[in-house]
């Protein structure tokens, strides 16, 4: 049995950051089942929270979840997901993953609160500012600002999948009755594949390729491939006209982005190690 506090949160998870392998998420999400309309079609969805200090988020289960269903583990990107920024591929990835889940009528989206590759939006903004000032990619900017390049972990999400009991049909003959045995993972990130596979789930990787919508996005995708081993093709340069250079630069509210800006190291950010900022050197 799982101990829950007065808000229904798993006490074990709260105390340890990451839950153990007990069935803490069971079928307790059934009282959240409701319909959602997207692109003119309706789906049923259930929701669970994944409690974790660094890598928590929300698990959305669409339709009847079956063994071998489509799964997307997505890290929050406010600019891409919500504001439809054309500077990265996050928004199109999420949209395409949802299109595929919706086409099948079932699947799982795990939305992790891992903005800025786990460092948060302020760090991400500092990185973007540094990139604009110095003409470097965001991984280089993070390093210059003493952030680790990526401090996300997908262990918490993978555990939730391993405990997610299919609602469609019966578990396969190899099932130990503890959750999904197989998934089709929508990702280009080998770290996500490894994290899910480490729980014992058989993973079939489904590439999630979207064409970059700007030269800046193309360069970002290229840096993900170079620095983090993302399995992405070599996209050609985005044609002129879609390029940032072809667009008029917006007026600056104040003269902040100049080479002479005195405060490249953000105020209040002491020289700390990436391990301190991340909480775990292994996550880098």
Distance CA 162, CA 226 (A): 30
Q: Which is nearer to Zn ion, 43 or 90 (CB)?
A: 90
Decide if 152 is catalytic.
Answer: yes
Please state the closest distance from residue 224 (CB atom) to Zn ion, in A. 10
Q: Which is nearer to Zn ion, 48 or 119 (CB)?
A: 119
Decide if 150 is catalytic.
Answer: yes
Selected catalytic residue, list 48, 76, 152, 218: 152
DSSP 236: P
Please state the closest distance from residue 29 (CB atom) to Zn ion, in A. 28
Q: Which is nearer to Zn ion, 48 or 74 (CB)?
A: 74
* Segment 42 to 101, residues that bind Zn ion, using CB under 5 A: 77, 80, 88, 90
Question: How far are the Cα atoms of 3, 95, 164, 208 from residue 92, in angstroms, in the given order?
Answer: 39, 5, 26, 9
Q: What share of the chain is helix, strand, coil (3-state, %, to 5)?
A: 35, 15, 50
Please state the closest distance from residue 267 (CB atom) to Zn ion, in A. 25
DSSP 24: S
- By three-state DSSP, how is residue 274 classified? helix
Give me the phi and psi of 167, to 5 degrees please. Answer: -105, -10
Could you give the maximum distance between any two Cα atoms of the chain, in Å?
A: 66
Please state the closest distance from residue 217 (CB atom) to Zn ion, in A. 9
Q: Which is nearer to Zn ion, 88 or 277 (CB)?
A: 88
Please state the closest distance from residue 95 (CB atom) to Zn ion, in A. 12
Distance CA 272, CA 261 (A): 22
Number of residues in contact with Zn ion under rule CB under 5 A: 4
Selected catalytic residue, list 150, 156, 162, 216: 150
The Cα angle at residue 150 between residues 179 and 207, in degrees rounded to 5: 55
Give me the phi and psi of 238, to 5 degrees please. Answer: -70, 130
Q: Whose CA is closest to 133, among 283, 273, 255? A: 255
Site membership for Zn ion, residue 107 (CB under 5 A): no
Q: Which is nearer to Zn ion, 92 or 107 (CB)?
A: 92
Q: Which residues are catalytic?
A: 150, 152
Residues of the shown chain interacting with Zn ion in the complex, contacts defined by CB under 5 A: 77, 80, 88, 90
């Amino acid at each position: 049995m799982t101990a829950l506090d007065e808000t229904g949160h798993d006490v074990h998870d709260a105390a340890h950051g990451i839950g153990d392998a007990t069935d803490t998420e069971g079928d307790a999400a059934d009282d959240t089942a409701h319909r959602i309309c997207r692109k003119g079609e309706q789906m049923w969805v259930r929701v669970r929270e994944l409690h974790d200090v660094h890598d928590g988020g929300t698990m959305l289960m669409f339709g009847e979840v079956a063994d071998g269903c489509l799964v997307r583990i997505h890290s929050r990107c406010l600019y891409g997901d919500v504001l439809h920024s054309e500077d990265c591929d996050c928004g199109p990835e999420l949209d395409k993953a949802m299109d595929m889940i919706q086409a099948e009528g079932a699947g799982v989206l795990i939305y992790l609160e891992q903005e800025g590759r786990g460092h948060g939006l302020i760090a991400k903004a500092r990185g973007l500012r540094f990139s604009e000032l110095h003409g470097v990619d965001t991984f280089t900017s993070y390093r210059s600002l003493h952030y680790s390049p990526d401090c996300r972990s997908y262990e918490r999400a993978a555990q939730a999948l391993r405990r997610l009991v299919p609602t469609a049909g019966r578990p396969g003959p190899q099932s130990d009755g503890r959750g999904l045995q197989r998934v089709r993972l929508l990702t280009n990130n080998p770290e996500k594949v490894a994290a899910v596979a480490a729980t014992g789930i058989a993973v079939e990787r489904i590439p999630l390729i979207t064409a970059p919508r700007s030269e800046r996005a193309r360069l970002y995708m290229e840096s993900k491939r170079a620095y983090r081993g993302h399995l992405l093709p070599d996209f050609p340069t985005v044609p002129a006209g879609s390029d940032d250079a072809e667009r008029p630069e917006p007026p600056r509210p104040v003269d902040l982005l100049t080479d002479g800006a005195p405060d490249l190291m953000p105020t209040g950010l002491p020289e700390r190690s990436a391990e301190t900022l991340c909480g775990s050197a292994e996550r880098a």
